[in-house]
Amino acid sequence: MTADETFERHFTFVLIPEFSMLSFSTALEPLRMANRMLGRKVYHWRLVTPDGEPAKASAGLTLSVDAGLKEERERIRRGDRPDQVFVCASLFIERFKDKTLNAWLASLDRQGIPVGALCTGAWILADAGLLDGKRCAIHWESLPAFSEKFPEAEVYADLYEQDGSTYTCAGGTASLDLMLHLIGEDFDDTLVGKICEQALTDRMRAPQDRQRLPLRARLGLQNTKLLFIIELMEANVAEPLSLVEIAKYAGLSRRQIERLFRRNLGRSPARYYLEIRLDRARHLLIQSDAPIVEVAVACGFVSASHFSKCYRELYGRSPQQERQQREELLV
């Protein structure tokens, strides 16, 4: 435990409309548990929305908040500074635009107040220019669109990332791991272990632990050569490899690769590769506003017409209809 019995840490959580309740609650609960274990209120938090109105989560629940940006700005100006600000968001974040919020976050950074993000909150930090040249993490589903939009940011599919005083987190239950890490920095592993027991989790995961299940578990495959080839395909979407190149990297013949895919996945390697690229395209269509032709190029298609034809064959709707469906969900 820290020797300083007067130690306290103050958090401000900025909740963006349609924020992820899971990402937020798994960040907040460890702080509450820590206070309980310590027998005093070490961790404090305030909830803020851009307009000061109650915060509506993506699940439809509404939370009352302490302030809007205007009130929070005045509070900080009077000297009541938080130790850490976290922006919490969720899906469709690319549609959220608030220049006032961006300016406020940039001013916090200039004042030396650490600003971090939960789930897709990293999108807002990047839009405010706070992640240029910095390592950061974001939910795997938003990672392709984020990479296209903010090439200056060094984004990784990690649970969370720390670059200086900037913490970003993929969201979901990874928020728990990030907060446990912060609590461990303030106190020790004993307190972290007690919180894990209380939360019924066996350990604090490391930052570089996988967001998604390993391919072996996700696909139910055991063949190491086949897994290597699939990983190769997933890593080369914008400029797809030929089967000859894949065979060279894998140390197999084209016929052996064909048999592996037919026997284990029921389709040809070319077909499986196409589905990987179309899956990436679907995420870009849903998670970004990039023109359809740009999505096509980013996923290795030479023309928008060929992309649309392949997309319709797999998903039963065109890329334009996919976008239209997204728009309807946003209304």
- Residue 289 reports pLDDT greater than 90: no
pLDDT bracket for residue 3 (50, 70, 90): very low
Mean pLDDT along residues 87-103 = 88
Mean pLDDT along residues 51-79 = 94
* Domains of the chain and CATH, by start: 9-199 (3.40.50.880), 215-330 (1.10.10.60)
pLDDT at position 71, please?
95
How far apart are alpha carbons 330 and 116 in whole angstroms?
A: 26
Three-state DSSP class for 118? strand
pLDDT at position 140, please?
84
- The model's pLDDT over 188-246, given as tens digits with 9 standing for 90+, comes to 889 999 999 999 887 887 777 767 656 676 677 788 899 899 989 988 999 999 999 99
How far apart are alpha carbons 321 and 316 in whole angstroms?
A: 10
Q: What is the chain's mean pLDDT, rounded? A: 90
pLDDT at position 148, please?
83
Sheet strand arrangement including 84-88: 67-68, 43-49, 9-15, 84-88, 115-118, 166-169, 160-163
How many Cβ atoms are within 10 Å of 152's Cβ, its own excluded? 10
- Which has the closest alpha carbon to 138: 114, 154, 115? 154
Number of H helices, E strands in the chain: 15, 11
pLDDT at position 213, please?
58
Bridge partners, 160 (sequence order): 169
- The pTM of this model reads 0.73
DSSP 19: B
pLDDT bracket for residue 184 (50, 70, 90): very high
- The model's pLDDT over 255-287, given as tens digits with 9 standing for 90+, comes to 999 999 999 888 999 999 999 999 989 988 887
CB-based burial label for 136 (10 Å; 0-12, 13-18, 19+): buried
How far apart are alpha carbons 175 and 299 in whole angstroms?
A: 30
To 10 degrees, the CA torsion angle through 197, 198, 201, 206? -80
Least confident of 54-63, 140-149, 166-175, 215-224: 215-224
Contact partners, residue 224, CB within 8 Å, separation at least 6: none
Mean pLDDT along residues 288-292 = 86
